Structure 1
Amino acid sequence: MTTQDFTAQTKKLIDSLKGVCTSYGLGNDGNEFKIITQMFLYKFMNDKFGYEVKQLDSRLKNAESWEKEIAKYTDNEYEMLLYRMSPDSAKLKREHYLSYLHNKQNSEEFAKLFDDTLRDISIFNNDIFSVKTGTGARIILFDELSNYITDSSERDNFCRAIINPLVNFSFEKIFNQKFDFFSTIFEYLIKDYNKDGGGKYAEYYTPHAVSKIMASILVDKPVSNVTCYDPSAGSGTLLMNLAHAIGEDRCTIYSQDISQKSSSMLRLNLILNNLVHSIQNIIQGNTLLNPYHKSGDKLMTFDYIISNPPFKLDFSDYRDTLDSKQNHDRFFAGIPKIKDKDKEKMEIYLLFIQHIIYSLSPTGKAAIVVPTGFITAKSGIERKIREKLVENKMLRGVVSMPSNIFATTGTNVSVLFLDKANTKGDIVLMDASKLGTTIKEGKNNKTLLSVDEENLIINTFKSHEAKEDFTVIVSYEQIKDKAYSFSAGQYFDVKIEYTDITADEFHAKMSSFKSNIDCLFAESHQLELDIKKQLEKLFHA
């Protein structure tokens, strides 16, 4: 079976689960995404467990049904099998299997058995798969999904219906697939549940092209045993691209996000992409108010930071708390003021930029999506941050993206690249605003970059190549001379067009200019005389 065929089948499975939800009145319900993503994960974990135990025992690998063969194990043999599994693997009891639940469908109170099974899996794997809140509480892997059906008499039927699409499908043949496959599946899985406008903390999905460009430019050489951080991680698109560029087994992920929904999505993303070892570092909480990741009493610093923070949000309820002595160094450029007329437009992204700068290790690198207005603002917090980046010699470059690269917002964006080791300068400023093709996505226009255009941006930036009207390579001193502007356009050479002409043509043009000037002077003199006459008439009137 080809990857394309399996992708189509996987999407069909997701659609089947959504169809069940719709049939039971949960279509577009606030809890639908929990049911879809958690059932998808339950199936994935079942198949991954079967795949891994087969690698440990040839009897299971060669059996017609590994579940029937494993039923012959004694309790001690089964316990030893679980002990031999990878510490990052989900451990299942025999009564946790999907096949076990499927065979018990005719039992009374099947919904209770269904919920109890999922809850027991969560408890059995709590140390590996639970996400922590900023206060240390644990968000377990599965909810009691049947409780989302308001009519309790329909819960048994709903649980039977949601199990059935999973039975005749297997992930087993694609566990050797890598990031590109699972990123496509993940995007399809959450596409209806990661919309903007979802309340106070809107979640903007970073386009794959932007994520790829950011990660590819950040990781410019092989590294290992490094830390990666996103203080506003959302569903983890940026972190997954960064981990893939480094190598999933050569980095550890850290994140924090105020949204519980986003944290659950990120956990699923980590499981799909062989980054289970980092789930313990996924924190649901307010990064600005209560940053979680610390080393002793101080905030941790990271080798790589990648982020697309929210641009403008109301944080007036804790703004004054941030403006304290203990945050003076972290928010060195200041804290945006409360906007009385429209608090939703408070520039929260300026706090995230300062937090990221503060969280970089001595040789750390960062990539941050910012509104393009940030790179040229003449005063205020924006200017102070840019001055800091130049004075501390930690700016690596800026890429100004095409308009509408984010279909959900009309704000023009740029990507700010930082590198604490870039003390010599040689800064790349790029204007990629003319690239891309505009398409219609719903009511909005969206600009798509082709693979060739993505590679043009990445390769030109990494090679530090100056190209006319596209990139310019500048020093810190040049940026100071331009009032700390990070806009490539302000550094492009002004072009003057020259046309070669003969000496005779030159004299002819000059004679023509002289004649025209003589005529204009004559007209001017006549106007002076006319004005004087009119004034004389007024004087003698």
Structure 2
Amino acid sequence: MSKTKEFEQQIKDLIDDLKSVCAQYGLGNDGNEFKVITQVFLYKLLNDKFVYQIKKLDPRLEKAGKDWELELNKFSDDEYEVLEMELGEKTAKIGKNHFIQNLFDLQNEANFAKLFDNTLLDIAKENSEIFSVLTSGKTKIVLFEEVSKYVTDERDAFCKALINKLITFSFEGIFEEKFDFFAAIFEYLIKDYNSDSGGKYAEYFTPHAVSKIMARCLVNNEVSNVTCYDPSAGSGTLLMNLAHQIGENKSTIYTQDISQKSSSLLRLNLILNDLVHSLPNVVKGNTIKDPYHRSEDGKLQKFDYIVSNPPFKLDFSDYRDELDSKANQERFFAGIPNVPKSKKESMAIYLLFLQHIMYSLSEKGKAAIVVPTGFITAQSGIDKKIREKMVESKMLAGVVSMPSNIFATTGTNVSILFLDKSNKCDVVLIDASNLGTKVKEGKNQKTVLSEAEEDRIIEVFNSKTAEDDFSVVVSYEDIKAKNYSLSAGQYFEVKIEYVDITPEEFEEKLNVFKSNLSELFAEGKKLEKEIEKNLEGLSYGD
């Protein structure tokens, strides 16, 4: 096993151990288990990152090896403060008495749970300026809260059990790893927590194939100093892929999501992927009702790249009429879905996200949005008005229609819609619905694309290549002529196959068809007589 795979397995074992502790103290499959696991994991990660960085800064600590903490305790307060200043903003500050080793040594103290909680709270306070995320009301959501409060009894024992799991492993060996490593760890960490209660809002984790295709079709050349935005960010999977494609140090991320849970996951994802500088731009709030990110003039901020897997349907009837205002006329140019008499939860909120994204693109901005495939062919209503605007404004790059069940948790067929305000000519439409392999994932069936299939989609899209029964390249005029349909299948050529045969072979085939027809007609007459006979035998009132 490679060193990387060995580290990956050790981290997965740590996550499983933490979940086991939660189960032993009554938190298994509890809504609060997620809060404990993610906070304790993050504490461990930040602790080890701090140790890793200070060892690089001071040779004395590196030389001390496992006894680094004894050596560090020799530092004066002023020396320690200088060391922290040299770390920069990407590494959270950890006080001398806040290390995991210190807690491990003190675990037999009275009221250990309080000591554990206060350690987390102190770290959160010390790092609130950089590592907090915001609500739309500008309230800070700090790194940590009390963990022991989630168990009713044996709080000291619970916190001791957590510390004893954390002390057995060090993250120090993984900080030179790259995006794919951390993506796999993050996916494993949140696999039991990747949808909210009832599954009514967007998934927290978009499948890797979808994320990869979106990022690599959006960015296929060198860019730098760009802004990236997701108005329904979830755990940030789409943004992590996009930032990695651009370069983490060349992009700044902005997000908003209505779920506090997703904001916590997103913060963890940003820290894992060396995007700490974007943490102040993570906002918990309702993007449709109260969009947060604005320019200095108070107008909604415009972004260079936007990715989104928005919720498709959600009841927003409580504030639907508030949206129908003069201030929102330009943003929601195609209209706002009406409240249905029944099934309010089926309100197509993705149509509002689509319009918001179009409005939020910079002058040469690009976007990739997951939409239900029905959107690309709808013959009327808001759906069609949005497509008309994309075509008339010449801001469409293409569409990739994905296989069914690409998301294991929904049977809705999805397509990826690509926008590009600089694309004034050809549009590429891809029908990838026949790709992939069906696999079982729990009780659900899922379609998995191979790496070769993913690469085929990306290559065809970026090169604007037409392939029989797979892709087509069309003009904006072509799309208008097809009633603004964005379905690749409607543009494929109908092929008539010609076969050379002799007159004798033709006569033979014709006779076979005549014989088959005669047999079918005879069978039809026989059935007709039987029906008539049965009807004559029926009496009134039967």
| TM class by smaller structure | over 0.9
For 1:446, the aligned partner's letter is K
Give the number of the structure whose alpha-carbon radius of gyration is greater.
Answer: 1
Separation in structure 2 between the aligned mates of residue 220 and residue 478 of structure 1, nearest angstrom: 26
For 1:182, the aligned partner's letter is F
**Structure-1 residue corresponding to 2:56:** 55
For 2:260, the aligned partner's letter is Q
**Structure-1 residue corresponding to 2:193:** 193
**Structure-2 residue corresponding to 1:263:** 263
2:232, 2:309 within 8 Å by CA — same for their partners in 1? yes
> Matched residue of 1:493: which SS?
coil
Residues 71-470 of structure 1: pairs in structure 2 closer than 5 A: 71-151=73-153, 154-195=154-195, 197-198=197-198, 200-201=200-201, 203-295=203-295, 296-423=297-424, 425-470=425-470
Deviates more, 1:221-230 or 1:436-445: 436-445
Cα shift at 1:5: 1.0
**Structure-2 residue corresponding to 1:536:** none
CA deviations 1:279-312 (Å, max 9, x no partner) are: 0000000000000000021000000000000000
CA deviations 1:110-133 (Å, max 9, x no partner) are: 111111110000000000110100
Cα shift at 1:200: 4.8
For 1:38, the aligned partner's letter is Q
Cα shift at 1:491: 0.2
Separation in structure 1 between the aligned mates of residue 43 and residue 506 of structure 2, nearest angstrom: 87
**Structure-1 residue corresponding to 2:43:** 42
CA deviations 1:117-151 (Å, max 9, x no partner) are: 10000000000110100000000101100011112
Does the C-alpha gap of structure 1 residues 500 and 166 become closer, same or farther in structure 2, counting only changes over 3 Å? Answer: same
Separation in structure 2 between the aligned mates of residue 511 and residue 206 of structure 1, nearest angstrom: 55
For 1:25, the aligned partner's letter is G
> Matched residue of 1:255: which SS?
strand
Cα shift at 1:256: 0.1
Separation in structure 2 between the aligned mates of residue 89 and residue 276 of structure 1, nearest angstrom: 8
Does the C-alpha gap of structure 1 residues 109 and 367 become closer, same or farther in structure 2, counting only changes over 3 Å? Answer: same
> Matched residue of 2:477: which SS?
helix
**Structure-2 residue corresponding to 1:492:** 492
**Structure-1 residue corresponding to 2:536:** none
2:289, 2:323 within 8 Å by CA — same for their partners in 1? yes
**Structure-2 residue corresponding to 1:26:** 27
For 1:59, the aligned partner's letter is R
**Structure-2 residue corresponding to 1:12:** 13
Cα shift at 1:198: 3.6
Cα shift at 1:509: 8.6
Q: Which runs of 4 or more aligned residues in structure 1 lie more than 2 Å from their structure 2 counterparts after TM superposition?
A: 195-205, 504-513
Unaligned runs of 5+ residues in structure 2 are 519-542
Cα shift at 1:201: 3.1
1:437, 1:449 within 8 Å by CA — same for their partners in 2? yes
1:254, 1:278 within 8 Å by CA — same for their partners in 2? yes
RMSD: 1.8
Does the C-alpha gap of structure 1 residues 200 and 478 become closer, same or farther in structure 2, counting only changes over 3 Å? Answer: closer
1:197, 1:203 within 8 Å by CA — same for their partners in 2? no
Separation in structure 1 between the aligned mates of residue 452 and residue 142 of structure 2, nearest angstrom: 42
Separation in structure 2 between the aligned mates of residue 461 and residue 159 of structure 1, nearest angstrom: 52
Cα shift at 1:197: 4.5
1:196, 1:408 within 8 Å by CA — same for their partners in 2? no
CA deviations 1:501-539 (Å, max 9, x no partner) are: 45x5599699989x99xx9xxxxxxxxxxxxxxxxxxxx
Separation in structure 2 between the aligned mates of residue 195 and residue 336 of structure 1, nearest angstrom: 25
Separation in structure 1 between the aligned mates of residue 493 and residue 453 of structure 2, nearest angstrom: 23
CA deviations 1:151-181 (Å, max 9, x no partner) are: 2xx1111111111011120111110001100
Identity of aligned residues (%): 66
For 1:228, the aligned partner's letter is C
**Structure-2 residue corresponding to 1:528:** none
For 1:470, the aligned partner's letter is F
> Matched residue of 1:299: which SS?
coil
**Structure-2 residue corresponding to 1:532:** none
Does the C-alpha gap of structure 1 residues 510 and 218 become closer, same or farther in structure 2, counting only changes over 3 Å? Answer: closer
Separation in structure 1 between the aligned mates of residue 202 and residue 507 of structure 2, nearest angstrom: 67
Q: How many residues align?
A: 512
Separation in structure 2 between the aligned mates of residue 208 and residue 86 of structure 1, nearest angstrom: 32
For 1:291, the aligned partner's letter is P
For 1:209, the aligned partner's letter is A
CA deviations 1:469-514 (Å, max 9, x no partner) are: 0000000000000000000000000010111245x5599699989x
Separation in structure 2 between the aligned mates of residue 204 and residue 235 of structure 1, nearest angstrom: 5
Separation in structure 2 between the aligned mates of residue 460 and residue 350 of structure 1, nearest angstrom: 28
Separation in structure 2 between the aligned mates of residue 507 and residue 36 of structure 1, nearest angstrom: 74
> Matched residue of 1:268: which SS?
helix
> Matched residue of 1:428: which SS?
strand
CA deviations 1:264-287 (Å, max 9, x no partner) are: 000000000000000000000000
For 1:319, the aligned partner's letter is R
Cα shift at 1:86: 1.6
Unaligned runs of 5+ residues in structure 1 are 520-541
Does the C-alpha gap of structure 1 residues 442 and 507 become closer, same or farther in structure 2, counting only changes over 3 Å? Answer: closer
Separation in structure 2 between the aligned mates of residue 272 and residue 351 of structure 1, nearest angstrom: 31
For 1:292, the aligned partner's letter is Y
For 1:404, the aligned partner's letter is N
**Structure-1 residue corresponding to 2:522:** none
For 2:57, the aligned partner's letter is L
> Matched residue of 2:90: which SS?
coil
Separation in structure 1 between the aligned mates of residue 321 and residue 328 of structure 2, nearest angstrom: 11
2:204, 2:235 within 8 Å by CA — same for their partners in 1? no
Cα shift at 1:445: 1.0
